[in-house]
Amino acid sequence: MPNYPMESPSVETPDGINLRTKISRPKQVTEDNNMAIVLVHPYSIMGGCQALMQGIASGLAEKGYPAVTFDMRGVGRSTGKPSLTGFAEVADVFAVCNWVSQKISSHNILLLGSSAGVPIAGSAVDQLEHVVGYVSQGYPFGMMASILFGRHHNAILQSA
């Protein structure tokens, strides 16, 4: 049983996909903490889902940060189908970050991606003004990763 309030709203993307989210809210948010963390799970096609990020989200909430996990399209209770290259999933990150900015009253968002969630989150960094930071956990490299996610690399390497 978590020591923080948890909610599970749905976020709709511009193309009509409903993404299931979980918000781990801290019991108390201090005035100087105006940052929310959006966690992006590993590759959907390989079994990635928001549940894999829930432990990190719990720890962040216990430290005072609102943390949002979500199932990308085609995963869990989210609608739609996953893409092979992750570009449709970048739109999912946009939708969740925009929703967080409006509904959680946080104009500062830190993106945290894990495994294949790293290049997907990284492609959104410079395209969303309220994203102020980016953490990559277990960035996938190698031939297969280059084939699937190589087009995301430039966005990450060129981000400010």
Burial of 16 from C-beta contacts in 10 A (0-12 / 13-18 / 19+): exposed
The parent domain of residue 50 ranges over: 6-27+40-157
Residue 32 counted as domain residue: no
Task: Answer whether residue 14 is part of any domain.
Answer: yes
pLDDT of residue 70: 96
Task: Over range 140-155, report the average pLDDT.
Answer: 62
Tokens matching residue 50: 């928001």
Closest of 157, 118, 119, 128 to residue 36, by C-alpha: 128
Residue 34 belongs to a domain: no
pLDDT at residue 116 in the model: 82
- Residue 120 forms part of a structural domain: yes
Does residue 142 fall inside a structural domain? yes
CATH number at residue 46: 3.40.50.1820
Say which residue, 46 or 39, is predicted with more confidence.
39
**What rounded mean pLDDT belongs to the chain?**
84
Q: What is the pLDDT of residues 70-81, one digit of tens each?
A: 999 999 999 999
Band (60; pLDDT cuts 50, 70, 90): very high
Task: Provide the pLDDT for residue 66.
Answer: 93
Residue 33 belongs to a domain = no
Of the ranges 3-7, 75-79, 155-159, the best mean pLDDT one: 75-79
- What's residue 32's pLDDT? 65
Most distant CA pair in the chain, distance: 46
Domain total for the chain?
A: 1
> Does residue 98 sit within a domain?
yes
Q: Is the pLDDT of residue 65 over 60?
A: yes
Establish if 114 belongs to a structural domain.
yes
Per-residue pLDDT band for 109 (boundaries 50, 70, 90) equals: very high
Which of 44-80 are b and which e, b meaning 16 or more Cβ less than 10 Å from the residue's Cβ? beeebbbebbbebbbebbeeebbbbbbbbbbbeebbb
